[in-house]
Amino acid sequence: MDGFMRPASLPRPFLTPGVGVLMLLALNGLVFLAGRFLFGIGAVTNLTNQYPWGIWIGIDVAAGVALAAGGFTTAALGHVMHREQYHAVVRPALLTAMLGYTFVALGVCIDIGRSYYIWHPLVYWNGTSALFEVGICVVIYIHVLYIEFLPVVTERFLGRVSLPGPLARLDPLVERLLRFLDRGLARTMSVFIIAGVVLSTLHQSSLGTLMVIAGPKMHPLWQTPILPLLFLLSAVSVGFPMVILESLLAARSFGLKPEMHVLSGLGRMTAPLLGITLAFKMGDMFIRETFVHLGACDTAGIMFMTEVLVGIVIPLRMFLSRDVLKSPPLLFTASALVVAGVAINRVNNFIIAYTPPYALKSYHPSFGEVSVTVGLISLLVLLYRASVIVFPVISLPDRTLARAKYTVKG
């Protein structure tokens, strides 16, 4: 960590009007969630035997995993490649990944019919199943993420442990535990960081393998044997834009100055990553000659064009421009486009591309499904806000830190 930037807790009030709105949305989601667990998946969703997977898989799980990729891309940049100037964004990205994957796991629990058997894949293995591979990697990776976050917790509470009421007697014990963790983690952290990167590459790509087995049930625009590669490339390319997006949003929300020198650096690196993704996507399209399907101008064609133009081509051009990299609003727009593009891509792969042979009517998410998804995302944002208030996650320049200390009193 350099002398100018230091992660610090943000002494701000948790409640704001925006937080209130998010709480209402979360509450609404929880109501429908209760319905799902009391009366079954069919009571809340529009899922059928023809369309067994909907937005709970397409958005909550598939898009969720992709958008949490910032965790491993920044870890690779900051810790593996030791680009110290980017340390400021490693912790926010790590927090996003940790919360993101936690909610992915939650999303899976909600979507599977027998949530109480979520542990079965740990016992009953099926090596041929891409889903098994994704599941195992995600389980291990969640643990790695929590371990990677532990130093933030020890940093916050070391020497400051004071449990309420009668629990105060345990203070020295907790203090010793934290000290033990802190020392042990400092020595072994590199093992976990590299493991996190490896696990991410594995399951980000295997998430793409998932739909390969659907074969001709999947629209030819998306069905390709290089799906795993495309998933990995797009996950890597959305990592930095997601970090930029969050940093700018957090800066806005907490009234901080955005760290533009760090963010434009991330933006500059995003351009080649998007370029590689685009090259493979276009190469795949021309080799398999699937462009013929674009002429049909149906939902699939339009969604494919949207995902490529909005999610890759336009932001690629933007990230190549010096003016965009210097301007927070333009950088925000470009990053938001990439994030939206990857989210659309995952929805396309898991929902739009999926064309079952005997469907009488197409799938549209029910109000309940949308409520649960929106509720989960709201809950995630609320937890993120709470976490950056409590834990030293967001890096502040030292003088801002000093000023913040005074403003909270005033």
- The one-letter amino acid code at 370 reads V
| Of 245-253, 318-326, 356-364, 390-398: span binding another protein (CB under 8 A) | 356-364
Return the number of other C-beta atoms located less than 10 Å from residue 375's C-beta.
Answer: 21
362 contacts another protein (rule: CB under 8 A): no
What's the min distance (Å) between Cβ of 186 and another protein? 8
**Region 22-61 residues binding another protein, contact defined as CB under 8 A:** 36-43, 45, 47-50, 52-53
Q: In the complex with another protein, which residue's Cβ is closer, 206 or 373?
A: 206
Residue among 127, 295, 329, 410 that touches another protein (CB under 8 A): 127
**Region 336-355 residues binding another protein, contact defined as CB under 8 A:** 354
Asked if 380 and 92 touch (Cβ cutoff 8 Å), the reply is no
What is the DSSP annotation of 71-137? HHHHHIIIIIS--GGGHHHHHHHHHHHHHHHHHHHHHHHHHSTTGGGTTHHHHS--TT-HHHHHHHH
Closest alpha carbon to 208 in 318, 134, 261: 134
What's the min distance (Å) between Cβ of 129 and another protein? 5
**Region 202-221 residues binding another protein, contact defined as CB under 8 A:** 202, 205-206, 209-217
- How far is 237 from 342, CA to CA, in rounded Å? 9
- Tokens standing for 399? 């003088």
What's the min distance (Å) between Cβ of 368 and another protein? 13
| Of 9-17, 19-27, 107-115, 164-172: span binding another protein (CB under 8 A) | 107-115
| Alpha helices, DSSP H, located in 158-259 | 171-209, 227-254
327 contacts another protein (rule: CB under 8 A): no
Q: Which residues, 6+ apart, have CB-to-CB distance to 203 below 8 Å?
A: 65, 133, 134, 137, 138, 141
Closest alpha carbon to 330 in 318, 340, 320, 313: 318
Closest alpha carbon to 400 in 390, 408, 389: 408
Residue among 65, 87, 247, 380 that touches another protein (CB under 8 A): 87
393 contacts another protein (rule: CB under 8 A): no
Residues that contact another protein, how many (by CB under 8 A):
77
Q: In the complex with another protein, which residue's Cβ is closer, 73 or 378?
A: 73
Q: In the complex with another protein, which residue's Cβ is closer, 378 or 395?
A: 395
Kindly give the pairing relationship between strand 5-8 and strand 394-397. Answer: antiparallel
- Tokens standing for 352? 């739009």
**Region 258-297 residues binding another protein, contact defined as CB under 8 A:** none
**Region 225-244 residues binding another protein, contact defined as CB under 8 A:** 225, 228
**Region 161-200 residues binding another protein, contact defined as CB under 8 A:** 187-188, 190-191, 193-195, 197-198
Residue among 133, 246, 284, 369 that touches another protein (CB under 8 A): 133
2 contacts another protein (rule: CB under 8 A): yes
Q: DSSP state, 327?
A: -
Residue among 19, 118, 139, 401 that touches another protein (CB under 8 A): 118
Q: In the complex with another protein, which residue's Cβ is closer, 25 or 90?
A: 90
Q: In the complex with another protein, which residue's Cβ is closer, 198 or 282?
A: 198
| Of 104-112, 285-293, 369-377, 389-397: span binding another protein (CB under 8 A) | 104-112
360 contacts another protein (rule: CB under 8 A): yes
Return the number of other C-beta atoms located less than 10 Å from residue 131's C-beta.
Answer: 15
Residue among 1, 31, 170, 302 that touches another protein (CB under 8 A): 1
14 contacts another protein (rule: CB under 8 A): no
- How far is 159 from 275, CA to CA, in rounded Å? 48
What's the min distance (Å) between Cβ of 9 and another protein? 17
Closest alpha carbon to 192 in 94, 85, 63, 64: 94
| Of 128-136, 168-176, 249-257, 367-375: span binding another protein (CB under 8 A) | 128-136
What is the DSSP annotation of 336-402? HHHHHHHHHHHHIIIIISB--TT-SS-----HHHHHHHHHHHHHHHHHHHHHHHHSS-EEEEHHHHH
Q: In the complex with another protein, which residue's Cβ is closer, 123 or 410?
A: 123
81 contacts another protein (rule: CB under 8 A): yes
Q: Which residues pair with 397 in a beta bridge?
A: 5
Q: In the complex with another protein, which residue's Cβ is closer, 135 or 315?
A: 135
